[in-house]
């Protein structure tokens, strides 16, 4: 916009000056022949008394130069004939028949009129230029304030909306000619904000529903598990005992799945609480033994120290790690433990196929299951390592997955007190 205004102003200015030169160049002036002849006649007749010129022609500026080009009238004038010619004066030759007497000069009326007209037109052009400049500046200020500035604000507003800022309203001014348009933008913001609030509320209710259903499912699962325990004691038929064992195994899988689902839902709702206390590091041995139901883990020595953990949550973390190892590797498990700065470093390594390097950072995401795992047909929810990682973070620790050769290594960084 500013470039358009500048070009318009320049074009108008050039047009004004072109008009001045055309007008002044085409102006025609008619010389006063009678006056010129009268002056020449008077000088010829009064060569000895040229002061008569002032009396006879009081309003005409007359100078007289001798045959050598020196001024002889008026007295005291030191200019020469060449100076008069340079100034554009009109030269009149004064002769007596064939004898040259002098040269009389008067200011060229056409030259004077030309200068006068040029000065007037130049003054008018300057005034016109000032008016056009002021108009152009006023027009630009008007455009910038009433058009460019509102559009700039709407552009910034759209950027904030794209960044997710739905709380800052779009400011409106009374002089804004796009008031209705601007108001529509702000109404859109309010509707987006309300829609986002409804979406958040629905997601929250959905998570609450999943948590409630997961909690409610625990009761019938526990009942089925109890019935299986009773049947395994009361029934002696091997066939029936085998079926009861299969039911118990599936029940245990369902219980683990529901437990993980409940924990993940509580984490989404911000209700997965962790209450850390100071414990002796030897408590980890008890937790490992309880989690190693298949006795696949080798023995390890745990340095004596105090650790800051929630024992119940740590049981859940290590239980999920062992459960994953049983499910996907089903190999002997190596346990290593060492001090590392302010942390006790506990590493759990199996000897399965491991995890591809490009998936190591993904396996702790919610519901993520690797490509190899999906193709294997093994059931799972993709919540085990996600929950374990979230719980370790809440206990001010960290869970790290790595592959060293074959197998997967899960390292727990447990904060010491």
pLDDT per position as a tens digit, 276-289: 999 999 999 999 98
Question: Of 45, 72, 107, at which residue does a domain stop?
Answer: 107
Q: Is residue 339 part of a domain?
A: yes
- pTM as predicted: 0.46
Could you tell me if 293 and 237 lie in one domain?
Answer: no
Q: Which domain holds residue 203?
A: 193-272
Q: Is residue 11 part of a domain?
A: no
Q: Is residue 353 part of a domain?
A: yes
Distance separating alpha carbons of residues 38 and 215, to the nearest angstrom: 129
DSSP state of 147: I
43: three-class secondary structure by DSSP: helix
Q: What is the CATH number of the domain that holds 205?
A: 1.10.287
Q: Is 28 left (phi over 0), alpha (psi -120 to 50) or beta?
A: beta
Per-residue pLDDT tens over the stretch 146-180? 777 777 877 787 788 878 777 777 776 655 666 66
Could you tell me if 290 and 250 lie in one domain?
Answer: no
Question: Of 272, 289, 317, at which residue does a domain stop?
Answer: 272
Per-residue exposure over 144-162, b if at least 16 CB sit within 10 Å of its own CB, e if not: eeeeeebeebbeebeeebe
List helix spans (H) across 87-178.
Answer: 109-143, 149-162
Residues 353-365, mean pLDDT to the nearest whole number: 84
Per-residue pLDDT tens over the stretch 267-318? 665 556 788 999 999 999 999 988 888 888 887 889 999 999 999 889 888 9
Question: Which residues lie closer than 8 Å to 350 by C-beta, 6 or more apart?
Answer: 325, 329, 331, 332, 333, 334, 407, 408
CA 357-362-363 angle, 5° bins = 90
pLDDT in the model for residue 366: 75
Per-residue exposure over 72-99, b if at least 16 CB sit within 10 Å of its own CB, e if not: ebeeeeebebebbeeeebbebebeeeee
Distance separating alpha carbons of residues 224 and 113, to the nearest angstrom: 121
Count of domains forming the chain: 3
Distance separating alpha carbons of residues 341 and 330, to the nearest angstrom: 32
Assess whether the previous peptide bond of 74 is cis (omega < 30° from 0): yes
Q: Which of 269, 257, 266 is nearest to 203 (CA)?
A: 269
């Amino acid at each position: 916009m500013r470039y358009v205004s500048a070009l318009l102003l320049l074009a108008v200015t050039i047009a004004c000056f072109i008009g001045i030169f055309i007008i002044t160049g085409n102006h025609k002036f008619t010389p006063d022949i009678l006056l010129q002849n009268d002056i020449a006649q008077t000088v010829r007749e009064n060569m000895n008394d040229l002061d008569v010129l002032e009396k006879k022609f009081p309003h005409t500026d007359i100078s007289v130069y001798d045959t050598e080009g020196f001024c002889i009238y008026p007295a005291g004038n030191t200019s020469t004939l060449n100076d008069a010619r340079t100034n554009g004066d009109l030269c009149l030759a004064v002769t007596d028949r064939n004898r040259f007497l002098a040269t009389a000069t008067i200011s060229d009326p056409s030259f004077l009129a030309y200068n006068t007209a040029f000065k007037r037109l130049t003054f008018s052009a300057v005034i016109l230029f000032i008016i056009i400049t002021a108009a152009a500046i006023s027009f630009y200020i008007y455009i910038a304030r009433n058009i460019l500035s509102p559009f700039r604000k709407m552009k910034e507003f759209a950027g904030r909306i794209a960044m997710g800022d739905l709380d800052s309203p779009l400011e409106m001014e009374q002089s804004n000619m796009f008031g209705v348009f601007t108001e529509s933008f702000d109404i859109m913001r309010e509707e987006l904000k309300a829609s986002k609030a409804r979406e958040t509320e629905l997601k929250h209710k959905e998570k609450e529903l999943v948590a409630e259903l997961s909690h409610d499912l625990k009761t019938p699962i526990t009942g089925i598990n109890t019935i299986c325990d009773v049947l395994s004691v009361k029934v002696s038929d091997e066939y029936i005992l085998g079926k009861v064992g299969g039911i118990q195994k599936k029940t245990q899988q369902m219980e683990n799945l529901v437990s993980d689902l409940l924990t993940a839902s509580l984490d989404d709702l911000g209700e997965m609480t962790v209450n850390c206390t100071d414990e002796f590091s030897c408590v980890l041995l008890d937790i490992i033994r309880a989690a190693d139901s298949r006795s696949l883990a080798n023995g390890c020595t745990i340095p004596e120290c105090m650790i800051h953990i929630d024992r119940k949550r740590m049981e859940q973390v290590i239980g999920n790690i062992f459960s994953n190892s049983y499910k996907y590797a089903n190999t002997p498990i190596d346990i290593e433990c060492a001090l590392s700065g302010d942390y006790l470093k506990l590493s759990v390594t199996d000897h399965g196929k491991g995890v591809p390097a490009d998936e190591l950072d993904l396996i702790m995401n919610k519901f993520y299951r690797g490509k190899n795992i999906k193709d294997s047909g093994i059931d799972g929810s993709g919540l085990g390592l996600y929950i374990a990682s979230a719980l370790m973070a809440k206990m001010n620790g960290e869970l790290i997955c790595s592959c060293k050769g074959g197998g997967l290594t899960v390292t727990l960084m447990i904060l010491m007190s």
